[in-house]
Amino acid sequence: MKRATPAIALATLLIGACAAEAPAPATAPPVAFETLVVEARDHARERSWDGVVEAVNQATLSAQTRGRVLELPFDVNDYVEAGQVVVRFTDVEQVSAQRRASAALNAAQADYIEAESSYRRTEELVKQQLLSRASLDQARARRDAARAALDSARAGVSEAGEQVDYTVIRAPYSGILTQRHVEVGESVQPGQPLVSGLSLQQLRVNVEVPQSDVATIREHGQATVVLPGGGRVEAAQVIVFPYADPATHSFKVRVELPEAETGLQPGATVKGVQDRRFAQSLAAGHGTGDTRRSDGGLCGGSGQPRDVAPGAPGPPPRVRSRSAGGPGGRRTCRHRSAGGARAPGVGGPGAGRWLSHASACPGASRVPSRRTR
């Protein structure tokens, strides 16, 4: 028992030393080839289509009465305020018709007054049994006819006044005069185009979108218009038409712009852009280029691997994730070209390599690359 005591004491000291000081973790030995670290970043993928700008308020004013063009105060490209006169006709015929209507109204008024007085006198005589009931019915009919004639004369006066007003054409809203269809001295008929104009206060963009993208646009309902100078304008409203073009099978999407100074002109083409944002993207520094991934779920997610662009010529490579060592083990990424060949590495052409992505995969650690067969 005395000889065993020194051995027990030595074992106790060794156990205490191990508990007091944990061994330092072994570091990976330096390697002679390149390594790659992949990390997660937020990334926005955009899809754009060409669209045409148009004015919400645009119209062609037409004649509503006959006449000869007497005045055209504005020319093409002139700015016109709402209510200003843009075309004026001669109004000799219209004013004469208005005077005839007024005279007819005066005559109808006099006839009605006389018919009303005659009816009242006949009614009193019938009450005194001096006239028959038939006389009262005749007087009542004359009065009602005179009343109807009076109403018709009043309508004629109103119509004649409208015809006089039609000889002066005013701008319905403020805007730019885009075209003159007549000149001074020409005779016009009802329905003939006179001038065209549009307003720059409210604009919209019409975009033809493929059938495959309509569902996504309807779901998000947001869009951005890229201005010629590089600026962007958020859409006030996105309207997807409920039918497709039978010839092209594309859907028309109308992007309503806010009432702001954008510098856009009707008829110009712009880019309509829709943002499609994802939770994560893959960004890996590799040589002089960057590798990017647009879908989420890099490690353990449900998304499938997508093409990435490392900046090298040829088909874009693919990045896949793999977990090693079971739960909690380290995770690595394999870097292959799109054609299935392994990415070049140490050991000659065709040699592949495993890439670590400590920050992109939860629980992963940075490890040096190793070649694969």
Q: Are residues 134 and 66 in the same domain?
A: no
- The average pLDDT across 193-204 equals 93
| Nearest alpha carbon to residue 371 among 344, 338, 337, 340 | 344
Residue 19 in any domain: the answer is: no
- Domain end residue (candidates: 229, 251, 277): 277
pLDDT tens, 2-61?
A: 454 555 555 554 455 444 455 555 666 776 777 777 777 665 667 788 899 999 999 999
Q: Are residues 204 and 259 in the same domain?
A: yes
pTM attached to this predicted model = 0.56
Q: Are residues 226 and 175 in the same domain?
A: no
- Domain end residue (candidates: 252, 277, 302): 277
Q: Are residues 172 and 115 in the same domain?
A: no
The phi, psi pair for 190, rounded to 5°, reads -60, 135
Q: Are residues 359 and 319 in the same domain?
A: yes
Whole domain around residue 103: which residue ranges? 92-164
Return the residue matching tokens 């508990």. 19
Whichever domain contains 70, its CATH number is 2.40.50.100
Contact 194, 169 (CB under 8 A): yes
pLDDT at residue number 25: 56
- Domain end residue (candidates: 164, 190, 210): 164
Whichever domain contains 248, its CATH number is 2.40.30.170
Residue 217 in any domain: the answer is: yes
The phi, psi pair for 182, rounded to 5°, reads -135, 165
Q: Which residue has the higher pLDDT, 208 or 14?
A: 208
pLDDT tens, 342-354?
A: 434 434 443 333 3
Q: Are residues 77 and 172 in the same domain?
A: yes
pLDDT tens, 126-184?
A: 888 888 889 888 999 999 999 999 999 999 999 999 999 999 999 999 999 999 999 99
Under DSSP, the state recorded for 340 is: S
β-pair type (203-209, 224-226): unpaired
Q: Which residue has the higher pLDDT, 164 or 222?
A: 164
Residue 341 in any domain: the answer is: yes
pLDDT tens, 69-124?
A: 999 999 999 999 999 999 999 999 999 999 999 999 999 999 999 999 999 989 88
pLDDT at residue number 325: 41
Q: Are residues 82 and 174 in the same domain?
A: yes
Q: Are residues 147 and 182 in the same domain?
A: no
Number of domains in the chain: 4
pLDDT tens, 254-304?
A: 999 988 778 888 988 888 877 654 333 333 334 333 333 334 333 333 344
pLDDT at residue number 116: 92
Q: Are residues 147 and 269 in the same domain?
A: no
Contact 39, 364 (CB under 8 A): no
Whichever domain contains 105, its CATH number is 1.10.287
In the three-class reduction of DSSP (H, G, I as helix; E, B as strand; rest coil), residue 57 is classed as: coil
269 vs 53: CA distance, rounded Å: 6
153 vs 143: CA distance, rounded Å: 15
Q: Are residues 263 and 227 in the same domain?
A: yes
